[in-house]
Amino acid sequence: MSRKPVHLAVYDTFADWETGFATAYLARGGYEVRTVGASAAEPVTSIGGLRVVPDLALDAVRPEDSSLLILPGADLWDTSDDLAPFARKARAFLAAGTPVAAICGATAGLAREGLLDDRDHTSAVSFYLAATGYGGGERYVEADAVTDGGLITAGPTEPVAFAREALRLLGVYEGEVLDAWYRLFHDSDAEAYAVLEKATAAR
């Protein structure tokens, strides 16, 4: 049976460095990655100037057709309400039991939507989320990335830890192999490369 795709939200000013490890290794693990925009007809441009034409419009994405919704950070999370529909879509995903992964500014969007009030989470810094006025401050965790049930959160400087949690949640890597993957890309640990190569060759 084929795996359901992973959906990557894209919008103007999205932080292209934050999700690259996650999408690359989810794809290598057998997951199709499909981009989702407010409209499938309008291209968006990342902070780094990458122009992306979304595969799907947000309204067309259903939780039951997805393995994971990934929400990258973007300037727009903090400067307008344009991305609020993506936070509402995250609510629908979590309510249906489909995982969501949010990093950087997207965590603030989820905070405003009330999705962090009752879940352990992290972000860039605690006072960044506190500025949203959300009610989940007591659930903030000082960590590189946090998974609580079906929700992954991370700050903007932790794209590798963010990816680690997604790879774990979807079962791409686990145990010693997942640890080796993280040590290789986060710590440049050459010894971890041999562990990862052996595991990959055994697949």
Sign of the alpha-carbon torsion through 151, 114, 7, 159: negative
Q: Which among 72, 66, 55, 58 is positioned nearest to 12, based on CA atoms? A: 72
CB 170 within 8 A of CB 26: yes
φ/ψ of residue 128, rounded to 5: -65, -45
Distance CA 58, CA 195 (A): 39
Residues 6+ apart with CB under 8 A from 114: 134, 135
DSSP H helical segments within the chain, as ranges? 20-28, 76-79, 84-96, 105-112, 126-130, 159-169, 175-187, 190-201
* Angstrom distances, CA of residue 35 to CA of 23, 44, 131, 142: 10, 11, 30, 30
For the annotated catalytic residues, the residue numbers are 104
Burial of 56 (0-12, 13-18, 19+ CB in 10 A): middle
